Amino acid sequence: MRVPRGGVHALLGPNGAGKTTTVRILATLTRPDSGSARVAGHDVLREQRRVRRSISLAGQHAALDDEQTGAENLIMLARLAGLSGAAARGRAAALLERFDLTDAAGRRVVTYSGGMRRRLDLAASLVGTPSVIFLDEPTTGLDPRSRQGLWELIGELAGAGVTVLLTTQYLEEADRLADRIAVLHGGRLAAEGTAADLKRRFGAQRLELTWRDAASFAEAARRLGDRVIHREPARQELSVATDGSAPQVRALLDEVDPDRHGLLRFTVREATLDDVFLTLTDRPVSNEREVANV
């Protein structure tokens, strides 16, 4: 897996696929069993200090002191990073303003909402000037409005030239944010590319057919045979793969409903990341050597 500088690179995969473990290895928190990894040009085993000076990590749970205020959390981290008192206060104030937390700066973090805690955690990860930021499922548990706000902040970071490696279980999040996507399965890289490329390679377009009655549904299922990729008898719906072209769609409609009496309606649905995800995570795991460059 190679991640170019700048932009957002998403890691997708089911629970246990290795997303968090990959992040922990790249952040020098876990030692790899084999293979090699470099972050910002530095080896994660031989040059740990250089890696740590180049990165920031926001994990699944906000790493904040609940008993301190938002401002105190950021000032403390800035002081630990080596800034003087005045510089630390200035950096904290700038980050609080950037993440729309100025009004809550004097409140203890224990009083913050989930979305506010996430924004403060992301602000804390920028106290230094990292070139690479690891975000491990940063929007888990957030309401839609808070998630949208965090998406905008992540986009701003990438636009400023920061490399963002994002793990997520929300496929629409990866589709919306990521310049490139990697799908992990069983600790291995199953596929990598842009969202459009992955949809083209692994996600079939579907012709979705809804029938007037059970008899029409059963006859269409018989005609299509093993070409049916999804069926819902209770709703009398069938789906068949298609390239989306008008000639093929017309031919399929004529084949399954030659008398034009049984079909109630049809829809051509574009491939989604859900289709890609389900296709790739249903495959056997390969045995390629692990190599990562971020």
Residue 148 counted as domain residue: yes
pLDDT at residue 167, rounded to an integer:
92
Q: Is the pLDDT of residue 289 over 80?
A: no
Question: What pLDDT is attached to residue 284?
Answer: 56
Percent of the chain with pLDDT over 90: 54
How far, in Å, are 7, 40, 57, 147, 161 from residue 131 at the CA level?
11, 8, 11, 23, 8
In a domain, 16, yes or no: yes
Q: What CATH number is associated with residue 247?
A: 3.30.70.80
Q: Residue 211 domain-assigned?
A: yes
Two tokens, residue 18: 């290795």
Same structural domain, 64 and 130: yes
Interval 146-163: pLDDT, tens: 788 888 888 888 988 999
1, part of any domain = no
Is 140 part of any domain?
yes
Please give the average per-residue pLDDT across 44-69, as a whole number.
Answer: 89
Number of domains in the chain: 2
- Amino acid 290: pLDDT: 52
Q: Are residues 189 and 228 in the same domain?
A: no
Residue 185's identity, in one-letter code, is: H
The pair of three-digit structure tokens given for residue 176, joined into one six-digit string: 């919306």
Q: What is the mean pLDDT of the chain?
A: 88
Residues 154 and 25 in one domain: yes
Can you give the pLDDT at residue 180? 95
Rounded to an integer, the average pLDDT of 224-229 is 89
Residue 115: inside a domain: yes
The predicted pLDDT at position 288 comes to 47
The residue with greater pLDDT, 146 or 253, is 253
Whether residue 54 is predicted with pLDDT greater than 90 in this model: the reply is yes
Residues 207, 266: contact at Cβ < 8 Å? yes
Question: Tokens 């800035």 correspond to what residue?
Answer: 78
Q: What is the mean pLDDT of residues 92-113?
A: 93
Could you tell me if residue 275 is inside a domain? no
Q: Is the pLDDT score of 22 beyond 80?
A: yes
Given a cut of 90, is residue 93 above it in pLDDT?
yes
Residue 273 predicted with pLDDT over 70: yes
Give the sign of the dihedral formed by CA 183, CA 186, CA 189, CA 191: negative
CATH number at residue 158: 3.40.50.300
Instruction: Tell me, yes or no, whether 226 and 166 share the same domain.
Output: no
The answer to whether the CB of 260 falls within 8 A of the CB of 5 is no
> What is residue 258's predicted lDDT score, i.e. its pLDDT?
92
- 240 and 124 in a single domain? The answer is no
Any idea what the Cα angle at residue 134 is, between residues 131 and 140, rounded to 5°? 145
- Asked, for residue 195, whether it belongs to a domain, the answer is yes
Residue 89 belongs to what domain range? 7-199+283-293
